[in-house]
Amino acid sequence: MLTYVLRTLFRMAITLFLIVTLVFFATRLSGNPVDFVLGEGITKEDRALLIAYYGLESSIGTQYWRYLSSVFSGEFGLSFLERRPVSEIVLERAWPSVKLLLCAVCFTLIVSIPLGILAAIYRTSIIGSVVMVIAFLGYAVPSFIIGILLVLIFAYTLNWLPVIGDGTALHFIMPTLAISGMLVAAITRFTRNAMLDVLSQDYMRTARAKGLPEWIVILKHGLRNAAITLLSVVGLQIASLAAAGSVVVESIFAWPGIGDLLVRSAILRDYPVLQFGVLSVAVAVIVINAVVDIAYAFADPRIRLAKG
């Protein structure tokens, strides 16, 4: 068990190191970032000053080393555009993103787990087919199209919901739906498959044979056993799908979150912000994955009790 945890942590560390390296070299590939951002209208002295400030005159190896050490000491630099520490800028954006993602994840679980169970139980009837068709097609709809269609219907045609910002509870409805689309499709499929595995087990027949009501059989004996598989898949999928979805959805709804910030800094080439934003989202996803992995190990006796 301990080895398992250590191995997971070790893998996590390697992935983190890779992403830090990738981010560094990606942003240095294109030459001198200062010229890119400031362009014309800057005096020679100012330019030299900036280059010295960002340490761009030294060799790429030295820069890389300095970058690594600054990352470890929590120094991430200043935004090119706002001249504020990037950690401050990104942190301001974190809470709105987290709020939105929590909404989306809750919504997804509330919708897709019952749907998946239904699809598994009624797999031969029309209910199962309909659910699976929806889940299947939902996976092929880009979240920006869901977002745009929602805006068109509920904001511009019916005038029910506000489009921009995160001011009230009403503001959460459309972004939540847009992010959840793909998640619901994915998790419904997984729930169905996990339940199908469980439904044909002998202990389900035993539970029915001893006269338990059907819903107890399904929920207590079925879902609880399917939950272990589900937990691992859901954890891994949700983190990365949600990160991808929130980038585009936040930018549609001008949501003051990290996704919107990332897109904006990518378009404006504010590299320090982009670097730190990508790093923090990647770190969040990787840490969540590791936590899910370890939680899975604790939940699954086969791993928990295994030697080594």
Q: Under a CB-based contact definition with an 8 Å cutoff, are residues 104 and 179 in contact?
A: yes
For other proteins, the binding residues in 214-253 under the rule CB under 8 A are 229, 237, 240-241, 243-244, 247-248, 251-252
Closest CA to 160 of 139, 136, 184, 177: 177
Among the listed residues 103, 104, 186, 292, the single contact to other proteins using CB under 8 A: 186
Binding piece for other proteins, criterion CB under 8 A, among 25-33, 60-68, 93-101, 295-303? 25-33
**Cα–Cα distance, 49 to 166 (Å, whole number):** 40
85 φ, ψ to 5°?
-60, 135
Stretch that binds other proteins, among 73-81, 87-95, 128-136, 206-214 (CB under 8 A): 128-136
Pairwise CA distance, residues 111 & 103, whole Å: 12
**32 makes contact with other proteins (CB under 8 A):** no
151 binds other proteins (CB under 8 A): yes
CA distances to 71, 100, 290 from 276, in Å: 10, 20, 21
CB of 285 to other proteins, least distance (A): 6
Q: Which of 1, 4, 5, 27 binds other proteins (CB under 8 A)?
A: 27
State the burial class of residue 134 (Cβ atoms within 10 Å of its Cβ: 0-12, 13-18, 19+): middle
Cα dihedral sign for 31, 39, 264, 157?
negative
Which x/- pattern over 271-290 shows residues binding other proteins (rule: CB under 8 A)?
x--x---x--xx--xx--x-
Asked if residue 144 binds other proteins (CB under 8 A), the reply is: yes
CB of 236 to other proteins, least distance (A): 8
Sequence-separated (6 or more) residues with CB below 8 Å from residue 255: 96, 97, 100, 165, 166, 175, 249
Q: Under the rule (CB under 8 A), what is the footprint of other proteins?
A: 11, 14-15, 18-19, 22-23, 26-27, 29-30, 123, 129, 132, 136-137, 139-145, 148-149, 151-152, 156, 186, 189, 193, 196-197, 229, 237, 240-241, 243-244, 247-248, 251-252, 262-263, 265-267, 269, 271, 274, 278, 281-282, 285-286, 289
